[in-house]
Structures are given as structure tokens and as C-alpha cells.
Amino acid sequence: MKTATRADEWMTLLQREGYRQTAARRAIVEVILASQRALEPMEIFECGRKQYPGLGLVTVYRTLEKLEELGLVQRVHQPNGCNMVLRATQGHQHLLICTHCGQAVYFEGDDLHPLFERVAQGSGFDIQDHWLQLFGLCAACQKNPGEN
């Protein structure tokens, strides 16, 4: 399966950084890679336990730290939670999130620099960073408004 291959990559990257390959970490990595949406640590713990019943919640937190450090996952802020974890993407991309099922899709940000210029001039700020996130209904949830 595809996610297994990607999980291998992540495990190798962990090892390359001096961390060890363990069953607990693999379970966590596979849960994150298999998910289309950002997950809370508790959800990762619960799903991971199905695959590796000995898994502890503390290990989830510790592994997330390392994956974030490696840039493999990203913390996502949502109205319903601000410590949600999603696989990261390369380059500067923004998120589009389904308000119904949570599905998270990355998209290439437009060039917002004209806006930044304007705001910088108006405010005197030196603008360094920005957050942009869109919310809506994904195609599937538009068709099945009742589901879930």
C-alpha cells in the first residue's frame, strides 16, 4: 500500500536524525498518513491503538514533537481545536478545510504581496508572515449534506 511506502520514508528520516524505529512510532506515522484531515493527539492515540494496542498517549505527544521538528507534520488551527496535526506539504501552501468532514486540502497561495504592501503602508508594520485558511464544503459533503 502507498501509505506504507510513505511511512517507510518517514521512519527512515527519523532514523537519519538519530531517532529509533519503533512499532509505536510506525503506528502513529501510519495513522497520520492515512488521514485526509487534521487529527487531535487523542484521535491519533485511539486509531494507533487499533494497530498497536500497547501504544501510550504520551508516546503520541513525543512522536508528534519529533515529526514536527522534521517538518513532516504541521499543527493546524481550526475552530474546533488548535492542536490538530496534519501531514505537511512542500513549499508555501495554504489550507482549504471542509467544515463538515474536516478534509484538508493544500492549495498554492495567490500572490498576496500587493495586499501586504498596502497594509504595511497604512499601518507602519513590517510584515513578516501570514496565515490564510479557507473553509467550505468539499464536493462529497455538498452531495450528502445529511451524512455523518
Partner DNA sequence: CTGAAATTGAAAACGTTTTTCAATTATAAC
Partner DNA sequence: GTTATAATTGAAAAACGTTTTCAATTTCAG
- Whichever of 6 and 49 has its CB closer to DNA, that residue is 49
**Contact string (CB under 7 A) for DNA, positions 47-86, x = contact:** -----x-xxxxxx-xxx-------------------x---
**Selection from 50, 37, 47, 44 nearest residue 64 by Cα:** 44
SS (H, E, C) 28-52: HHHHHHHCCECECHHHHHHHHHHHC
Number of alpha carbons in the 13 Å side-chain half-sphere of residue 90? 0
CB nearer a second copy, residue 50 or residue 118: 118
Gap between the Cα atoms of 67 and 62, Å rounded: 9
User: Which residue type does 37 have?
Assistant: R
Q: Which of 23, 115, 132, 134 binds DNA (CB under 7 A)?
A: 23
Q: Which residues are annotated as a binding site for Zn(2+)?
A: 98, 101, 138, 141
Q: Which residues bind a second copy (CB under 8 A)?
A: 77, 82, 96, 98-99, 105, 107, 110, 112, 114-116, 118-120, 122-139, 142
